[in-house]
Structure 1
């Protein structure tokens, strides 16, 4: 019944007219390791094409665990006449510990994996993670399922050279963490990007410790095309950031990539709506460049509470942009509510800076503002835990 329904949907969406292009290997973005020789392809009739299409979809549903809709979509990217090779791949993945859901995720994200040679193409990548990088097997399975592009990389020409290069700079443990996270460092041309970009940072005077920090925390910024990277470095220097200070590489990350550029534009407009001048925004950016990568919801949420509820001056927060990064629900509201109640009782001065309230670790804050005044204001703990409401300003 399901196959009949799928067959009908193929006809309705005119798969018959388009299937010839799907069967043509030249139309598929195949890796060299999984390529099919055009000489092995033969012309099919429309009915044979449709029947083969249904068989592939049925296989993706029954053997790979994809939903019908996902199977139909995925079938546009992979084609096989008999299931021998896909069966071998699925058996290999299962034998190496991938769960059914992980296998489905792999096939959905990288359908051509079904045409791979398990021993020649897949096994070396898994062994690289386990034996070379010494990543725990459970982490290997999660990482590859989440980002199967690792299976398309050359172990000898890409994965091992990048691993060794990064290990010399940031250490083996952090490189293993980058692998677990699916770092950009392992997805970009090694010799054309990573090495020249690191060399350029050294040339402009960035200390090795800050380069290591950037490689670990902001690998996408260091993995830009070299010409673009040089332009970004020049832009950051023109803004007045000192390569000898760690904030330089933070600014480099904030200014990297088209998506970050779009975020900066949205942040700029949001801060302007809250009354910040261009100088205010620039001052905040100089202090904490990542304040230009926050969402409009995050910025407006924090400023709305501090300005509307607590009576703070919006522009003063530009001098303390780190405040914007604290959790509104878990830190800002509980602490400011406690402080506001104490100020209403005349127990603390109202002119204390927000940093005094928000920066201290929790134990220190409790000692300074809650435990100290608990006898005089018994409801302080309830206010701090959100069980009591404090009158607004």
Structure 2
């Protein structure tokens, strides 16, 4: 077994795997009757022409924030409200609350482009005809709205049953899920996702894997082999890192993983550093030799030592994959314009992962005003207290705490305008 697994193997994980093999075998016996599954691919019209209308519509009709509406408009765009109004009206008619509808559209905006009368209506009616209560229907669809994007009653039925079983924390009834014959690789999906559920993988991750047509849950033997490796590496199934590791390892052979480890070692990292980085950020194992080399040159060029760079990667692995241009822009702003030291960045490497325009600049502009007014001293506060806090905490500490309402309004205007 390759060195990375040797470093992370734990006896408890091996015990889990022995039990897991039984679960896999048990699940497999129920799926001989499955054939295939296919997704209904809606075709959103994405373009600049209807973007402003879409944003305005989402804000007014669903009460979404401008930021969320803008994010959705990058995925779907429309110039008339007729079709979208019909979709929202249909959902309300079936008992969905405004809050649930907002969640559904945020998670699966393509639904706004679906045909309410010919597509969505019949699907909702079919689910109700199978005995789904109004509360059950709204809960399940709100949790996994992509179900309504699937084609065919049989396929929708299988997805719905699985989600229902999972949300209600019932033991999976494989016989029940086999009552229909969906198309595609749903046989493998249901079996594999059921096994992940037994391990404790969170619902959101389960449903994302179930509904996706991508690997790794579409296979059989390869899935079992990959899952065994990830369990042996010591990843906690209850965290998102487990699924990330599963996806990364699925596409790599033992030889490839060994080569990646050796690549890190040649660039000055020991096996312990590689393991620590992979545990924090599984996708770090995908970084190419050229990308690593470019990152080292970028950080050394900014004045960091190799040891400092290694420490930053260990504490914040994604920094090795950031673009050279973005790293330079952020470091230049933080060091030259805000007077923080390079050592402060070494201690807070995650700052390099924050958005310069949406997080770093707005907060720093507020801090500069407070310093100019002598309200927080003459020196910039610690980097972590300015940039690492949540938006709410930052505003509480540096904006809303002031008694001068005019000052608070001024600071809020600066924060929002940046």
TM-score relative to the length of structure 2:
0.50
The CA deviation string for residues 231-276 of structure 1, in whole angstroms up to 9 with x for no partner, is: 2785579442496x7x642343212265xx5544443333233222
Aligned to 1:175: 206
Measure, in 2, the Cα distance between the counterparts of 1:167 and 1:249.
Answer: 21
Larger radius of gyration: 1
Question: Residue 243 of structure 2: which of 213, 216, 219 is its match?
Answer: 216
Query: What secondary structure, in the 3-state scheme, does the structure 2 residue paired with 1:184 have?
Result: coil
Question: Residue 282 of structure 2: which of 252, 256, 271 is its match?
Answer: 252
Bigger relative CO (Cα 8 Å, ≥ 6 apart): 2
The CA deviation string for residues 303-323 of structure 1, in whole angstroms up to 9 with x for no partner, is: 232123212234531221111
Query: What secondary structure, in the 3-state scheme, does the structure 2 residue paired with 1:185 have?
Result: coil
Give the alignment of 1:35-46 within 5 angstroms. Answer: none
Measure, in 1, the Cα distance between the counterparts of 2:306 and 2:351.
Answer: 19
CA contact (8 A) 1:270 1:296 kept: yes
CA contact (8 A) 1:232 1:252 kept: no
Query: What secondary structure, in the 3-state scheme, does the structure 1 residue paired with 2:375 have?
Result: coil
Give the alignment of 1:353-372 within 5 angstroms. Answer: 353-372=382-401
1:372 is displaced (CA, Å) by 3.5
1:388 is displaced (CA, Å) by 10
2:336 matched to 1:278?
no
Q: Sort the Cα spacing of 1:241 and 1:355 in 2 relative to 1 into closer, same or farther, 3 A.
A: same
Matched length? 257
CA contact (8 A) 2:215 2:247 kept: yes
Measure, in 2, the Cα distance between the counterparts of 1:183 and 1:358.
Answer: 35
2:328 matched to 1:300?
yes
Aligned to 1:339: 367
Aligned to 1:12: none
Aligned to 2:70: none
Aligned to 1:154: 185
1:381 is displaced (CA, Å) by 3.9
Measure, in 1, the Cα distance between the counterparts of 2:292 and 2:202.
Answer: 32
Q: Sort the Cα spacing of 1:123 and 1:308 in 2 relative to 1 into closer, same or farther, 3 A.
A: same
1:126 is displaced (CA, Å) by 5.4
CA contact (8 A) 1:268 1:281 kept: yes
1:342 is displaced (CA, Å) by 2.2
Q: Sort the Cα spacing of 1:342 and 1:155 in 2 relative to 1 into closer, same or farther, 3 A.
A: closer
Measure, in 2, the Cα distance between the counterparts of 1:123 and 1:257.
Answer: 42
- Two-structure CA RMSD over aligned residues (Å): 4.3
Query: What secondary structure, in the 3-state scheme, does the structure 2 residue paired with 1:371 have?
Result: coil
2:379 matched to 1:348?
no
CA contact (8 A) 2:362 2:415 kept: no
Aligned to 2:319: 291
1:351 is displaced (CA, Å) by 5.2
**Of 355-364 and 216-225, the range deviating more from structure 2:** 216-225
CA contact (8 A) 1:357 1:365 kept: yes
1:359 is displaced (CA, Å) by 1.9
Give the alignment of 1:1-80 within 5 angstroms. Answer: none
Aligned to 1:41: none
Measure, in 2, the Cα distance between the counterparts of 1:385 and 1:228.
Answer: 55
1:174 is displaced (CA, Å) by 2.8
TM-score relative to the length of structure 1:
0.52
1:175 is displaced (CA, Å) by 1.1
Measure, in 2, the Cα distance between the counterparts of 1:131 and 1:271.
Answer: 51
Question: Residue 317 of structure 1: which of 339, 345, 362 is its match?
Answer: 345
Structure 2: which 5+ runs fail to align?
Answer: 1-34, 37-41, 44-116, 122-150, 166-181
Q: Sort the Cα spacing of 1:155 and 1:389 in 2 relative to 1 into closer, same or farther, 3 A.
A: closer
Aligned to 1:43: none
The CA deviation string for residues 87-137 of structure 1, in whole angstroms up to 9 with x for no partner, is: xxxxxxx97669xxxxxxxxxxxxxxxxxxxxxx988655543444569xx
**Of 286-295 and 221-230, the range deviating more from structure 2:** 221-230
Q: Sort the Cα spacing of 1:388 and 1:215 in 2 relative to 1 into closer, same or farther, 3 A.
A: closer
Q: Sort the Cα spacing of 1:287 and 1:301 in 2 relative to 1 into closer, same or farther, 3 A.
A: same
Query: What secondary structure, in the 3-state scheme, does the structure 2 residue paired with 1:347 have?
Result: coil
Question: Residue 268 of structure 1: which of 287, 296, 305 is its match?
Answer: 296
